[in-house]
Structure 1
Amino acid sequence: MSTFDEKLKLFAVDLYKINAIKFGEYKTKVGLITPVYCDLRVIVSYPQLLNTLAELIIEYIKKMQTFDIVCGVPYTALPIATVVSVKNSIPMVMRRKEAKDYGTKKLIEGQFKEGDNCLIVEDVVTSGSSILETVKDLKNSGIKCSDAIVLLNREQGGEKLLSENGIKMHALLSLTQLMQFLKEANCVNESVVEKVKIYLQNTQVDPNVLIKNNRLKLSFLERLNFAKNPVTRRLLQVMCDKKTTLCVAADVTSTTDLLNLAEQTGPHICLFKTHIDIVEDFHPNFLKHLKEIAERHNFIIFEDRKFADIGNTVQLQYSKSMYQISSWANLVTAHSVMGKGILEGIQQSEGLKDRGVFLLAEASCAGSLTDQSYVDATLKLAKQYPDLITGIVCQNPLLLEEPGVIQLTPGVHLESVGDRLAQQYNSPETVVLEKGADVAVVGRAITKSADPAAEAVKYKEVLWAAYEKRIASQ
């Protein structure tokens, strides 16, 4: 055993001692259940081990080409890349998972030049998808990427996928080697080693399936097969047929203005979003005219009610109020704050047979209180109601593994400005290419325009071009 291998073995045993190597049943990012899990997030609490890992990486890369910069895959590999950068005196850049809504709004932070050669640093590779996401953003910023160094190769297809995408993976350890080291150190017995061996033989990630099932890499037509909610399927079909991802926010206060807006923008939209309770001259009779326009121009009516009460109250608000929303709006919005009762109330209401819900995870206004724990809980709730949930209202690509669910992103404007009431805007290209929007909501840019139809055409074309660019570039 070489000196380098001896260092690796000692390091592997130390990882086991700090519980960074776990045995049991764990779910990986790509959804596989594994009997062994490497959780390197804990290493930040052990500076000596972090230092040792950096030294191992530096020793390994001496035999590789030189690099101008390093970049750690967010977020576990960031501290690893930082120590490598400091100890090896090589500049580092950071990739954000999402751009900031303020300041420079950059995805890649740090100093670099176009054409710089970057070494990617990662902790564990199963499918390689996280590395590819990082490489994509780096390349979009003009940075070259051809090599990635990782601590652990789980030997489940990641190396192949990376190679097919032009990235050579250099692993300090394979999972097989790790198990052998732990066995030799009496950390695990032969039965555990054999269990992991059988697992690797029977559980490989298919790169083609991994790519195929990624929401951002699929066309809307392909995603029809994944949609479980009937309104979602209809919406995706409308988007394909009309080549539009535009939802117009009809925040007007008279029935005449609302119907005129529907007539003018109808040929160019997939969704017509109302706030029916701000219409000052509301009368149920006007709804038949709205439905007739929607049918003629092939768009879906979407009431942005944002239900947020106990199930029984929501059921009454949805189907028994003066607005009788369940009789005319196939889509509504709801907060997840009150839990599954809201969805149960909507699901059990009388009215349209085909109905769908957009759950609100993130808002476009500054100062929103929807933190990450709320977002995670919202996504978890959505997965419990696949036949009812059409999508998620959010500002970031939260549903990469859910091609049958639609991301709706509000706050879109060709001019990225705000208003005096904390509304924040992003450009159409930004919401589609960076924030992962499938459907973009445009309000005042269209409703306040002298020619709403022409403005709708402008937004429709820019948004569709961004969508085509997104699926073509993957």
Structure 2
Amino acid sequence: MEQKLKEFAKELFSIDAIKFGEYKTKVGLMTPVYCDLRVIVSYPKLMETLADLLIWKIQNVERYDLICGVPYTALPIATVVSIKTSIPMVMRRKEAKDYGTKKLIEGVFKPGDNCLIVEDVVTSGSSILETVKDLTGATLKCTDAIILLNREQGGEQFLKNNGIKMHALLSMTQLMQILHEAGCIDKATVQKVENYLATTKVDESVMKKSVPDNRLILSFEARAKLAKNPISEQLFKIMRCKQTTLCVAVDILNSTDLLNFAERVGPHICALKTHIDILEDFHPNLLQPLQEIAKSHNFLLFEDRKFADIGKTVEYQYSKGLYKISSWAPLVTVHSLMGRGVLDAIKTSEGLEKRGVFLLAEASAAGNLISDNYVKETIKMAEEYPELIAGVVCQNPLFLNNPGLIQLCPGVQMENKQDNLGQRYNSPLTVVLEKGADIAVVGRGITQSSDPACAAERYKKMLWDAYLQRIESSS
């Protein structure tokens, strides 16, 4: 196999996969040698040889249940290895698709499965770590990576520091020696590359910056420090302190019943979601005791108004009229349908000094008319108003690399089903581990229970256990 490896290295040179000159790497470093291994896909026999060499190299890896290639060059390489070894493969997307199942990790796997990473070239190791973060966010484990070429510029140590052992077929030094012995390059070229490697390493701080934080594997404590909206920061702290990600949707028609219900479920929730305009006996006197209950049990009041009008009308709906929402609800929901004027109105209206908005990107109602482009533009809008937007209402993990935002997912019940008005439900485990929810909204599963406090406590525990499972899978 050693001889086969040398022949393979010479073949890489012959197909112009190894280039000499002045090139720029992904992390911004200039280099006298560049490896463009994407051309290998046009040489089936060479691809087969590479797969055989990788399989030979990974004999020393103790255990792996799955294989995953780093997008995109390593995907066909991983595919051939998977076929030759009969080891199942999963595929990581660089971003979650906004149609169909909208998964970031495609394939069949179980929580806790160990996944072997396949990559072509490592300079900093950041591409591998990006893939590892998304895989661990999907409850998989990653401990080893097999690669074709180690550029010897700090990536191996960086990966080791992050719990990943790298197995390389070739180092840059070995590759240069093989090519020189074969008469492909002269001694001056070898010396130039050696001098470059000796003086040019990737700074670890640059490596860390190049790897985005995946919110699914970060703790709420860590994410609170990254939140730019004061209400989302407060929510993260409440969730961590009370160990709950439960928000109860309380569609109750009587004010006294609403207060009694809030008192009973208050110890188990991080937020109480209301539709204040459905109360048949609403009076402004209700608001003070409701706020006192929220303060007593350390949860936030969340008016699900779904503002969707021109800015001036929204300003009045938010801060004027009978309900004066801005005076008592630190959290509200907004449709992005009417554009940025709605957010500007919320931002500048009178009322509570600290306020947060949840933008509605996806809905749990069957047959809704929300399009893929609408979802994209909503996420974009959320990122344009970091000091106002607390999070996004959605059914899928749409913004993995913005850990300061909170994903709120409605339509949660212990038994998956659909009501006769088109509301679709997810189980607590599904909504956290598969859908990416940070906060789960439960309505009738608690409000219609004979013992709402007991039901809330059950949901609280199930959701929190799922959250722990999600973040612990990355450790």
Shorter-chain TM-score tier: 0.7 to 0.9
1:230 corresponds in structure 2 to: 230
Task: Give distance in 1, aligned partners of 2:35 and 2:345.
Answer: 40
1:57 aligns with 2:57: no
What is the Cα deviation at residue 456 of structure 1?
0.8
Q: Conserved in 2, the CA contact under 8 Å of 1:406 and 1:438?
A: yes
Q: Conserved in 2, the CA contact under 8 Å of 1:333 and 1:358?
A: yes
What is the Cα deviation at residue 336 of structure 1?
2.5
What is the Cα deviation at residue 332 of structure 1?
0.8
Distance 1:49 1:245, change over 3 A: same
Superposed CA deviations along residues 419-456 of structure 1, whole A, max 9, x for unmatched, are 23332322223323333322211111001101111111
2:146 corresponds in structure 1 to: 149
Q: Conserved in 2, the CA contact under 8 Å of 1:416 and 1:425?
A: yes
1:241 aligns with 2:238: no
1:311 aligns with 2:339: no
Q: Conserved in 1, the CA contact under 8 Å of 2:411 and 2:426?
A: yes
AA in 1 matched with 2:78: A
Task: Give distance in 2, aligned partners of 1:247 and 1:439.
Answer: 7
What is the Cα deviation at residue 206 of structure 1?
6.8
What is the Cα deviation at residue 220 of structure 1?
2.4
**Correspondence for 2:13 among 9, 15, 20:** 9
- What SS does structure 2 have at the residue aligned with 1:234? helix
Matches within 5 A, 1:185-264: 201=201, 203-204=203-204, 213-264=213-264
Task: Give distance in 1, aligned partners of 2:92 and 2:367.
Answer: 20
Identity across the alignment (%): 48
Task: Give distance in 2, aligned partners of 1:137 and 1:237.
Answer: 21
1:121 corresponds in structure 2 to: 118
Bigger drift between 88-97 and 385-394 goes to 88-97
AA in 1 matched with 2:89: V
What is the Cα deviation at residue 318 of structure 1?
1.6
Q: Conserved in 1, the CA contact under 8 Å of 2:145 and 2:164?
A: no
**Aligned pair count?**
443
Q: Conserved in 1, the CA contact under 8 Å of 2:137 and 2:217?
A: no
Bigger drift between 445-454 and 334-343 goes to 334-343
AA in 1 matched with 2:305: R
Unaligned runs of 5+ in 2: 186-192
1:71 aligns with 2:67: yes
AA in 1 matched with 2:57: M
What is the Cα deviation at residue 218 of structure 1?
3.4
1:391 corresponds in structure 2 to: 391
- What SS does structure 1 have at the residue aligned with 2:13? helix
Q: Conserved in 2, the CA contact under 8 Å of 1:412 and 1:441?
A: yes
Superposed CA deviations along residues 240-288 of structure 1, whole A, max 9, x for unmatched, are 3322221101122332332222121112111000122333333333222
- What SS does structure 1 have at the residue aligned with 2:329? coil
Q: Conserved in 2, the CA contact under 8 Å of 1:85 and 1:92?
A: yes
2:333 corresponds in structure 1 to: 333
Q: Conserved in 1, the CA contact under 8 Å of 2:303 and 2:333?
A: yes
Task: Give distance in 1, aligned partners of 2:473 and 2:10.
Answer: 43
What is the Cα deviation at residue 102 of structure 1?
11
Superposed CA deviations along residues 60-93 of structure 1, whole A, max 9, x for unmatched, are 225324599763347635444334545x373543
What is the Cα deviation at residue 466 of structure 1?
2.5
Task: Give distance in 1, aligned partners of 2:444 and 2:89.
Answer: 38
Bigger drift between 284-293 and 7-16 goes to 7-16
TM-score, length-scaled by structure 2 = 0.75
Kindly name which structure, 1 or 2, has the bigger radius of gyration based on alpha carbons: 2
Task: Give distance in 1, aligned partners of 2:396 and 2:260.
Answer: 33
What is the Cα deviation at residue 139 of structure 1?
7.8
What is the Cα deviation at residue 150 of structure 1?
4.1
1:283 corresponds in structure 2 to: 283
Q: Conserved in 2, the CA contact under 8 Å of 1:255 and 1:281?
A: yes
2:430 corresponds in structure 1 to: 430
1:94 corresponds in structure 2 to: 90
Q: Conserved in 1, the CA contact under 8 Å of 2:246 and 2:270?
A: yes
Distance 1:305 1:121, change over 3 A: same
Distance 1:13 1:33, change over 3 A: closer
- What SS does structure 1 have at the residue aligned with 2:392? strand
Distance 1:434 1:114, change over 3 A: closer
1:170 corresponds in structure 2 to: 168
Task: Give distance in 1, aligned partners of 2:335 and 2:10.
Answer: 54
Q: Conserved in 2, the CA contact under 8 Å of 1:108 and 1:137?
A: no
Bigger drift between 48-57 and 407-416 goes to 48-57
- What SS does structure 1 have at the residue aligned with 2:354? coil
- What SS does structure 2 have at the residue aligned with 1:313? helix
What is the Cα deviation at residue 120 of structure 1?
3.5
Bigger drift between 287-296 and 244-253 goes to 287-296
Distance 1:108 1:401, change over 3 A: closer
Root-mean-square deviation (CA, aligned residues, Å) is 4.6
Q: Conserved in 1, the CA contact under 8 Å of 2:139 and 2:470?
A: no
What is the Cα deviation at residue 329 of structure 1?
0.8
Q: Conserved in 1, the CA contact under 8 Å of 2:147 and 2:166?
A: no
What is the Cα deviation at residue 202 of structure 1?
5.2
What is the Cα deviation at residue 377 of structure 1?
2.9
1:377 corresponds in structure 2 to: 377
1:346 corresponds in structure 2 to: 346
1:462 corresponds in structure 2 to: 462
Task: Give distance in 1, aligned partners of 2:431 and 2:227.
Answer: 22
Superposed CA deviations along residues 332-374 of structure 1, whole A, max 9, x for unmatched, are 1122333322211110111111100112223333444545544
1:189 corresponds in structure 2 to: none
2:444 corresponds in structure 1 to: 444
Unaligned runs of 5+ in 1: 186-192
Distance 1:467 1:309, change over 3 A: same
TM-score, length-scaled by structure 1 = 0.75
Task: Give distance in 1, aligned partners of 2:281 and 2:121.
Answer: 60
Task: Give distance in 1, aligned partners of 2:307 and 2:35.
Answer: 39
Task: Give distance in 2, aligned partners of 1:199 and 1:341.
Answer: 53
Task: Give distance in 1, aligned partners of 2:266 and 2:13.
Answer: 65
Task: Give distance in 1, aligned partners of 2:112 and 2:242.
Answer: 40
Bigger drift between 131-140 and 404-413 goes to 131-140
2:190 corresponds in structure 1 to: none
